[in-house]
Amino acid sequence: MDLQLSGKKALVTGSSAGIGYAIARTLAAEGARVVVNGRSTDTTQAAVARLRADLGADAPLLAFAGDLGDAQGCSAMLTAHPDADILVNNLGIFEPKPFEVIPDEDWLRFFEVNVMSGVRLSRHYLPRMKASGWGRIVFISSESGLCPPAEMVHYGMSKTAQLSIARGMAETTTGTSVTVNSVLPGPTRTEGVQAFFAKLAAEQGQSTEQFVQHFFESARPTSILKRLIDPAEVAAVVAFVCSPQAAAINGAAVRAEGGVVRCMG
């Protein structure tokens, strides 16, 4: 299927690794001009170099190094790239921590990074997309937005907030060719997750494979997939949602979580 993304300009936040990197790669492979974003110049340039090595030296890639987890970083991004056809709000942080010991600072930090980064960028790009007659905004939420995890309630809160914001924004696009959606990955084999699982596995005297198996038996028993999702599998869903082919999908929470969420809605 031709996703008709050639020539579209896409901004993918937090795209130097993990799901964001996979999304940037998929959109660039479809012909979109992709702004790759990492917190530092080194990580951003390294990601662009990896993508060019994979997709070719002429891959349509741009780079913006900066932490979008605060207002100053978002402002710098908007100055450097005032226009975009596609915005993928992927930037996010996670940290397992018992609810009883999560301080105010962590709650505010998770909201600032996971939620407000997308709010600030969307507030800028949405009216421009409406004026231009086309646009796509996608929030990378999580199955944790529907099933808040006991081990990181503050993370689940931020993912639920994204769902509400995306749906509310979609309501403002009535009669336009702009859509706003969320995509909800499940447990995914990102660099961060792999490192975290390897650490926990070592502490428990298990192999990483054994720990992953135990994780799905105990922490995510409702998973139908029963394995970590590949970032490219999430990216494929996001690329379709970003395409003109997905014009009928608006205000949706599109699940790519391996069946963890045990409901039909």
Cβ atoms within 10 Å of 53's Cβ, excluding its own: 10
The H-assigned helical ranges of the chain are: 18-29, 41-55, 71-80, 104-110, 117-132, 153-171, 191-203, 208-218, 231-242
What are the φ/ψ torsions at residue 146 (nearest 5 degrees)?
-100, -30
CA dihedral 188→236→129→157, nearest 10 degrees, is -20
Long-range contacts (CB closer than 8 Å, 24 or more residues apart) made by 215-218: 215/187, 216/187
- Helices 208-218 and 191-203: crossing angle in degrees, nearest 10, is 100
Helix (H, G, I), strand (E, B), or coil: what is residue 67? coil
141: nearest Cα among 255, 2, 5, 225: 255
190: nearest Cα among 218, 223, 228: 228
DSSP 220: -
Q: Which position among 21, 110, 125, 155 bears the catalytic label?
A: 155
125 included as an active-site residue: no
**Which residue numbers are catalytic?**
155
